[in-house]
Structure 1
């Protein structure tokens, strides 16, 4: 065990001391934030290019009611000019020409002519303008024909928007406000993170074993360390590297979010404390707090069983990594070249990929048969069970899933150890599954 610890220490310190590891660990949260925020920010930026659009209104219904926007100007043109532009649209002074036919109310069709592809924003803005104006005309006609006074106001008052809140009642009868959307987001994120880290760091174990085998360093190491001790130290050491990186990212993201909250709004903490202390005395403040979207989301996240989610995440993260990395380490020990490893890796990783494929159906129905059975199968449970935990899983299901996973980890490590002991010192032989199956029955 002491030798395994030395190998673990070497694998861990060698990787965390690399400049690439430190730089990547520091930059990844900002890269993810940039990837998420930058496209959204760019999409929200208004198109500020000024454009002139000609309008030929054959219906004669919109001339006095059509308004320009800040950067888009509309010019109503006569029929003769429109016909001329149709013949030679490239020479016109307009970015595009809108043709409104006489029967637009019945056909709901209009045309936007241009010598280039019209932008989505321009098309959408013109379409919305036409829809709103025609809708106004139809409403006015219905009101005139009905003879009912204040019909438009009555129709507007009849429109109803329902805000459906979900309330979770525990075994003690206590009601806690919950959110299906928050549970869905937390479960999906947790499952995807486990998939990503298990895949990345499991492949890292395989490549590390292959490098030692191809360089013949392993022959020197095996002379003083048992193969199973070497495999155990390597797997756990690399697993701790991944866990260190994950914990650092979680802490860093928490500090960034907390720092932004207080730097952008220094009085927020004090106001929140005051509102919480005054809540009981003045029930009206409860409605005011509900209207604050940020505080409401924080409150909903706090209503989740955070200790259970974090504990389950840690268990399934480590369990999934130990199971898959041991199998990937065995693959690395069995082959000599990267091409051979890819062939043997596919059957190992198919269950992990399948768990991502069914992630969205499980999120939509976390209590269905698909969700239940895949959260029990050990090759998919690390991802699928983490999707179900935020929704609330019966304790017996969670314990059964964990027990099956623990037993499977023991079995896969035993299988991987048998393959590792034989394959790590075997060179120049192309290995297939039939050959690997024989290794399981060798007496070492």
Structure 2
């Protein structure tokens, strides 16, 4: 145990003293915020540019009331010029495009005969907006021909907002679902990134020591299994420290942001807020949708999510890091790792895809449940399911399967590791790895 502790301390200190580790620990949250702010700024700048669109309405059905100007789009009526002259003027001038509505009696034929001319490929949002305006007008024209009063149809429209409850009487909401998606997606993505970053870090560390022949000196006094486990735990400790610092920085940023938004975040975090009180809070402070999502995130079982995140972080990390360590021991340089990396990365990527495309849609569906129990995908998929509410028995089964699997994988990886670290000059194959696993010497 003493030797294992020394290896863990050595790996941890070497990692946290690294300049890139220190810089990225404090710089990463700022870079993430900066990137988000840059994207938002560029989107705002893009929206500020006004697009001028001309239309030539030969049908006489459309008017300025249909093509209303917005902040980003201005419409001009070039019907008197005709489509040919309008196209020339648009091509030569500072116009976005020209819309041609021909004179056709049949509304069905007209709907599929309208043309749009532009210098470059038009924006999908612009085209969608034009199609919606045209479809709405042609639909109203058809209803009028059927003798249907449009005013009555407009008056008959009713919006429905279905209130959601579970059988214990606790109220849910669309904002809460969005908050669950954000919390689960963030946790799953962070775990994926941590496994990739620190798992490959273990692999590179093993390759570096192997190529420099330092590892031959180390294994003369330490068992290969202890060395591998020490590297994994040492890197995991550094990862947890970095995660903790990021959490503190993000918490500080959240507090600052909440003060700017005028939300009492400290009060919201004291306990989970019952549904009736939550609704009263929303009505009292007149929060908008974004603020509701923030409140709903804070009303989630954050402590439970945090504890489970730590477990799955460690479980998933140990599981994959042992495989990365085995790969690092089997090869002499990073170029040779490519043939072994893909089988390791596929389950990770599958977990991310299942999480974002299945869990978000149906968190309690059969695919989500199955992949939240498969040990190679459960660290990501289960984390994304937790904010939606998962029974304790499911979580316990998933945890037991993960623990059992990473114990088996660590054992198998250690068998590869103890032989591979002393192998040089030969590019190993899967057949060689199988021989090393079966070796009992």
TM-score, normalisation: structure 2: 0.83
Match of 2:397 among 400, 406, 412: 400
Alignment-derived partner of residue 230 in structure 2: 233
Q: Compared with structure 1, are the counterparts of its residues 226 and 292 closer, same or farther at alpha carbon in structure 2 (3 Å cutoff)?
A: same
Within 5 Å, which residues of 2 pair with 1:342-361? 342-359=338-355, 360-361=357-358
How far apart, CA to CA, are the structure 2 residues paired with 1:15 and 1:89? 61
SS in 1 for 2:159: coil
Alignment-derived partner of residue 299 in structure 1: 295
Contact 1:53 1:73 in 2 (8 A): yes
How far apart, CA to CA, are the structure 2 residues paired with 1:78 and 1:324? 69
Contact 2:305 2:386 in 1 (8 A): yes
Alignment-derived partner of residue 172 in structure 2: 177
Alignment-derived partner of residue 57 in structure 2: 57
Within 5 Å, which residues of 2 pair with 1:409-428? 409-428=406-425
- 1:383-433 alpha-carbon deviations (Å, 9 max, x no partner): 122122222222222112211221222222222222222221122233223
Match of 1:162 among 155, 160, 163: 160
SS in 2 for 1:213: helix
How far apart, CA to CA, are the structure 2 residues paired with 1:356 and 1:9? 32
Alignment-derived partner of residue 272 in structure 2: none
Report the count of equivalent residues: 429
* Higher CA-based Rg: 1
Contact 1:104 1:110 in 2 (8 A): no
Alignment-derived partner of residue 276 in structure 1: none
Q: Compared with structure 1, are the counterparts of its residues 362 and 83 closer, same or farther at alpha carbon in structure 2 (3 Å cutoff)?
A: closer
Alignment-derived partner of residue 214 in structure 2: 217
Alignment-derived partner of residue 185 in structure 2: 188
CA RMSD of aligned residues (A): 3.6
How far apart, CA to CA, are the structure 2 residues paired with 1:270 and 1:396? 32
How far apart, CA to CA, are the structure 1 residues paired with 2:333 and 2:86? 67
Quote how far apart the aligned CAs of 1:226 are.
2.2
SS in 2 for 1:99: strand
Structure 2: unaligned runs, 5 residues or longer: 270-274
Contact 2:163 2:171 in 1 (8 A): no
How far apart, CA to CA, are the structure 1 residues paired with 2:120 and 2:179? 44
Within 5 Å, which residues of 2 pair with 1:31-430? 31-45=31-45, 47=47, 55-62=55-62, 72=74, 74-76=76-78, 78=80, 82-84=83-85, 90=91, 96-103=97-104, 106=107, 107-108=110-111, 109-118=113-122, 130=134, 145=147, 152=151, 154-169=152-167, 173=168, 175-177=170-172, 179-262=176-259, 264-265=260-261, 287-289=283-285, 292-359=288-355, 360-430=357-427
Contact 1:12 1:237 in 2 (8 A): yes
Q: Compared with structure 1, are the counterparts of its residues 436 and 296 closer, same or farther at alpha carbon in structure 2 (3 Å cutoff)?
A: same
How far apart, CA to CA, are the structure 1 residues paired with 2:416 and 2:397? 29
How far apart, CA to CA, are the structure 2 residues paired with 1:330 and 1:285? 54
TM-score, normalisation: structure 1: 0.82
How far apart, CA to CA, are the structure 1 residues paired with 2:116 and 2:80? 16
Quote how far apart the aligned CAs of 1:258 are.
1.0
SS in 1 for 2:364: coil
